[in-house]
Structure 1
Amino acid sequence: MKIYYIALIFTFLLNFLKTESYYEYWPNDSIKIEGEYLNGYKSGKWEYYNLNGKVWKYEIFKNGKLIDQMTWHIFKPKKLKIDSSNSESSIISNIENKDIVNLQLKDSTKNKNSFLEGYTGTWIEYHDNGVLNSVIQYMNGLKHGKANYYDENERLTRTERYLSGKKHGKWIWHGENNRVKEAGYYNMNKKHGKWIIYDKAGNQISVKDFN
């Protein structure tokens, strides 16, 4: 009789606590998201992979509620990386002699703009899939120097240049195979000199002269 009751309880628990694995894949069939559902709710650790198969974020769930999360970032001396998908993040500054740092996202009253206020250095953001989104130089909280932007396959799409927050220098837009689509110069926020548009073969199809 005792064994019978134990068997009933075990059967009940199996039916009640239904665990289901979840997998999502990138177009190249590599793993994108891995996690588990318990009784229809997200449960335990959920891991997120970039296109290179590296875990770039994990989340911890209990009864469908997010209770913790962690994002991995790679740092170089005096460089800072912030997750573009989360504007409220803890900040790590004055980084030196650290190749890899775990940045734990926490509640914060600060947003991206308040972090950038007075910031000097390189500001790097990511797409939601963990792939590089942008690399921008700042000085005293203003864009200063080169700013590169990338698509979700980490292909360069645009290069901008600034001087104390103003558009200044050569700007380039890139197309397929990194070919130049358009290029021209700014002089303190105003277009200056020749602006050229190219076709897919790299031939000039339009030239405008700004004086």
Structure 2
Amino acid sequence: MNKHLFFLILFACFSIICNSQINQFDSEGRRNGPWKVNFEGTSKPKFEGTFDHGKEIGTFKFYKKGFYDHPSAIMNFENGKDSVHVTYYTQKGKEISEGKMIDKKREGKWIYYHQESDSIMMLEEYKNDKLHGSQKTYYPNGQIAENTEYSIGEKHGKSLIYANNGQITKDLSYMEGQLHGPAIYYNVNGEKIMEGGYSNGSKSGTWKYYEQGKLKNEEDY
């Protein structure tokens, strides 16, 4: 037999054996073992991972159509847990964000990264896919830019905004998504600009305005 033909046959047999070991079902029709699904009409992967009688286990890789050098998302499933750790990537393989999901909904702490570096851009807390807890945003140099409290997807509680030098520029309070309570504004040098209060999103009571640290004007609302 021609040696070239022999290797072609051998390769074909090997491919058939390999393919016969993936995309299998158990006796109850559940996915079982290694699985790989390609984008329709191509040999490029849409996702690949392993099932244990219908349940995802281990690492799953998901790809964006047209970009196959690196997964767009990697999910790590742990045996005995309902949660999965998810990491999203750029087309070049740089991490965008990571956190935990339960039933495809974000839960607990999520981390987002700056595009041009590995430094953290944002830390968020989620409950049932809604912001719940603190949301912290950072400048590329690591200095905090904002720290705002959320409750079930709405701003609720203290919100502090910072300048790049670390100075607080806005000290605000929210209730159910609206400004509510005392508010103080500063310039980047730490000098008070104005202060007053909000009630259900509108200015309320006496507001004071300052210039170079001295009271300049007052208004009643």
Compute the TM-score of the two structures, normalised by the length of structure 2: 0.46
* Structure ranking higher in strand proportion: 2
Bigger Cα Rg: 2
TM-score, length-normalised on structure 1? 0.48
